[in-house]
Amino acid sequence: MKVGDTPYRSIWYDAGAAEVRIIDQRWLPHEFRIVALKTRDDFAAAIRDMWVRGAPLIGAAAAYGMAEAMARDASDANLNATWDALHATRPTAINLRWALDAMRTLLTPLPEPDRAAAAFRKAAEICDEDVESNRMIGVHGLEVIKDIAARKPAGEPVRILTHCNAGWLATVDWGTATSPIYQAHDAGIPVHVFVDETRPRNQGAHLTAWEMAGHGVPHDLIVDNAGGHLMQRGEVDLVITGTDRTTATGDVCNKIGTYLKALAAQDNGVPFYVALPSPTIDWTVRDGVAEIPIEERDGHEVTHVQGKSADGATAEVQISPDATPARNPAFDVTPARLVTGLITERGVAPASADGLRALFPDRAA
């Protein structure tokens, strides 16, 4: 997507400088910073400390991290140590393990001198596939939005609530939840997006709001607790979120607070869709609540918030008493029964084992 007039991806290989570059998301929306990642430790820090975040982008960054590691030392020992180091960064998004496994499966049989070039090719392929999958998620999700638009008085916007940032910044490009929104907006279908701020790190306020403004999509930032109220008043037509791991049975793990939105949507008859590329499906897991590891992050993210201070600089303030302890589970699981449909690159599936198997018979096996 464009930043100003310049098209960007969230991660790319700069051939001239021979380095991988990312948009450092810690500084958005107030500062647009690009940094190069060079060593395995750079990539591990970037994923763990959320310079890059969002399940598909975490996978893409890990793939490039493996490629850079191979360029320095293509031994089996380094391949395995890099897999371990990057895999340990964040536990919930399955795209991380998917990408690392794809790299290791490709590289292990190759002679050491061939590994770095093959790894860079594969990382680029993973990025391109993510972009195309997300574009297709938009094509299929657009039909959902069109259906709702057709039932509304002409010209009235389809009002879509989204949680966290499942936008182009969370993927390589397009985003998952945002791809249908961008494609509807581009097709001239009026949409209005309610952007959950998404405490504690405020990915909605910082990132989704920035994306919507950048693309000219009408939107309102809302506090996390406002969604249920707006749904009760009939002000939300549709919820679309992303996911960090979806089970083979259609349970959806996503940013903390997603479950509460799904409950409110169910109570108010609002369709609740989840958009995902197929690498986000964990075919080995059937019960999301019991089996998906939920990342617990530092309580500092709860007790402090970051924003722009009066002098324009990015600053952090503490919002709770000095000694207040905090719990910070970063994700929750929405059971399949609360999900209206899963929007994938192959079409929209019911959130069920049969629904997913019908779209992905090759993977389900």
Active site residues: 244
Which range of residues in 169-177, 208-216, 332-340, 350-358 is near ligand MRU by CB under 6 A?
169-177
- Reduce the DSSP state of residue 194 to 3 states and report it: strand
Distance CA 252, CA 225 (A): 20
The residue within the footprint of ligand MRU, chosen from 54, 257, 335, 355 (CB under 6 A), is 54
Q: How far is the CB of 332 from ligand MRU (least distance, A)?
A: 10
Distance CA 290, CA 282 (A): 14
The residue within the footprint of ligand MRU, chosen from 242, 288, 335, 355 (CB under 6 A), is 242
Distance CA 265, CA 302 (A): 26
Work out the angle at residue 36's Cα, subtended by the Cα atoms of residues 34 and 40, and round it to the nearest 5 degrees.
Answer: 140
Distance CA 299, CA 328 (A): 6
Cβ atoms of residues 106 and 122 within 8 Å: yes
Q: How far is the CB of 103 from ligand MRU (least distance, A)?
A: 20
Give whichever of 78 and 92 is closer to ligand MRU, judged by the CB atom: 92
Please tell me whether residue 78 binds ligand MRU under the rule CB under 6 A: no
Q: How far is the CB of 212 from ligand MRU (least distance, A)?
A: 15
The residue within the footprint of ligand MRU, chosen from 78, 82, 133, 171 (CB under 6 A), is 171
Instruction: Give the number of residues in contact with ligand MRU, rule: CB under 6 A.
Output: 18
Q: Which of 318, 10, 273 is nearest to 158 (CA)?
A: 273
Q: Which 83-142 residues touch ligand MRU, going by CB under 6 A?
A: 93
Please tell me whether residue 170 binds ligand MRU under the rule CB under 6 A: yes
Sign of CA dihedral 287, 333, 365, 125: negative
Binding mask 185-214 for ligand MRU (x = CB under 6 A): ------------------x-----------
- Cβ partners under 8 Å of residue 186, min gap 6: none
- Cβ partners under 8 Å of residue 98, min gap 6: 59, 279
Give whichever of 60 and 166 is closer to ligand MRU, judged by the CB atom: 166
Please tell me whether residue 53 binds ligand MRU under the rule CB under 6 A: yes
Chain residues that interact with ligand MRU, rule: CB under 6 A: 53-56, 93, 164, 166, 170-171, 175-176, 203, 242-244, 254-255, 330
